[in-house]
């Protein structure tokens, strides 16, 4: 079964995230656990934690199908030791917030070498940062997200992600999230049937589907290999509707959160309903 949702707001408290997801017709969702534009946040209250858990139970959302995301301020590959320390501490705090909420994974962008150190050194710094974090906070899986490769961002190839997983060396505590827009921008041709199969055969060979904890399913405004991280609504970009048809028909992507981060939030209910219909093998283009 496919579990499809979107990255929903936590305005008014994290306990509102499952309410917002349910209102979209979703059976999965992503969220921040705090204001993602700030380094720190007030501790979660017992009342907020209890309400979040109760709302998840009420609407049938389980931890396996919720994919929280850390703040974009964090750079676990930051070459400056003091600044990297700030990022590691913030990442540890976010893992702990997930643990308190009963969530089992935390999605994150690996980091950037900022053109100060080599890519290899950057990958090693990220792995060491993640290893310290998961050693500090039990239970929550750190989920590496592939990047589009803009600027000096690392994690744009399956080889780089495989290297970071190997260097982290914490089996059972790390996983992967594939962003379809990022993969396409980085040069993986998900727009064609042949490219789709080649891409995921490569992923399976280097990383393995057993480590796939979720996906961000976004169309792309950029061209193949253009390194442009610009999401588009499903079927409206250069990936095209056939990618989403193939994805929804493929059992390898069952039982993980498939999360929309598409730019027009007003389309999310229709996008979710369309993808759910495709997962049931219904021949639809876009539900009105």
229 is catalytic: yes
How many CA atoms within 13 Å lie on the side-chain side of 34? 23
Active-site option among 84, 216, 221, 245: 216
Active-site option among 15, 70, 94, 229: 229
Active-site option among 57, 72, 121, 169: 72
Query: Could you say which DSSP state residue 211 is in?
Result: G
With CA atoms as reference, report the closest residue to 105 among 227, 211, 242: 211
User: What phi and psi values does residue 162 have, to the nearest 5 degrees?
Assistant: -60, -40
Cβ 265 vs Cβ 29: under 8 Å: no
Active-site option among 53, 97, 109, 246: 109
Would you call 263 exposed, middle or buried from its count of C-beta atoms within 10 A (0-12, 13-18, 19+)? middle
With CA atoms as reference, report the closest residue to 247 among 221, 222, 223, 212: 212
With CA atoms as reference, report the closest residue to 1 among 203, 224, 258: 258
Active-site option among 53, 231, 245, 246: 231
With CA atoms as reference, report the closest residue to 133 among 74, 73, 80: 74
230 is catalytic: no
255 is catalytic: no
Active-site option among 89, 139, 261, 265: 261
* Cβ atoms < 10 Å from Cβ of 49: 17
Would you call 227 exposed, middle or buried from its count of C-beta atoms within 10 A (0-12, 13-18, 19+)? middle
231 is catalytic: yes
188 is catalytic: no
CA 157 to CA 148: how far, in whole Å? 9
Active-site option among 84, 182, 245, 246: 182
CA 238 to CA 241: how far, in whole Å? 9
70 is catalytic: no
Instruction: For strands 66-68 and 28-31, give the pairing.
Output: parallel
109 is catalytic: yes
Active-site option among 96, 179, 213, 232: 179
CA 199 to CA 222: how far, in whole Å? 18
Active-site option among 53, 69, 97, 113: 69
Would you please indicate which residues are annotated as catalytic (active-site) residues? Answer: 37, 69, 72, 109, 145, 179, 182, 216, 229, 231, 261
């Amino acid at each position: 079964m496919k579990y499809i949702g979107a990255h929903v707001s936590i305005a008014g408290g994290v306990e509102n995230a499952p309410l917002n997801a349910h209102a979209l017709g979703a059976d999965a969702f992503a969220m921040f656990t705090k204001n993602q534009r700030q380094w720190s946040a007030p501790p979660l209250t017992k009342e907020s934690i209890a309400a979040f858990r109760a709302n998840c139970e009420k609407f049938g959302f389980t931890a396996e199908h919720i994919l929280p995301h850390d703040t974009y301020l964090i750079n676990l590959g930051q070459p400056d030791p003091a600044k990297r320390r700030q990022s590691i501490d913030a990442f540890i705090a976010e893992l702990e917030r997930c643990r308190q909420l009963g969530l089992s994974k935390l999605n994150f962008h690996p980091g950037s070498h900022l053109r100060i150190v080599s890519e290899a050194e950057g990958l090693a710094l990220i792995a060491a940062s993640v290893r310290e974090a998961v050693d500090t906070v039990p239970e929550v899986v750190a989920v590496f997200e592939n990047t589009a490769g803009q600027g000096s961002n690392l994690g744009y190839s399956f080889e780089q992600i495989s290297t970071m997983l190997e260097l982290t060396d914490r089996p059972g505590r790390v996983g992967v999230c594939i962003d379809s827009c990022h993969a396409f921008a980085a040069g993986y041709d998900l727009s064609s049937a042949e490219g789709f199969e080649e891409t995921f055969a490569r992923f399976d060979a280097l990383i393995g589907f057993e480590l796939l904890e979720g996906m961000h399913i976004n169309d792309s405004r950029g061209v193949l290999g253009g390194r442009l991280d610009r999401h588009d609504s499903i079927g409206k970009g250069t990936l095209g509707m056939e990618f989403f048809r193939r994805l929804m028909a493929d059992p390898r992507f069952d039982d993980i959160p498939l999360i929309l981060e598409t730019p027009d939030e007003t389309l999310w209910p229709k996008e979710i309903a369309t993808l759910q219909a495709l997962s049931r093998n219904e021949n639809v283009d876009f539900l009105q």
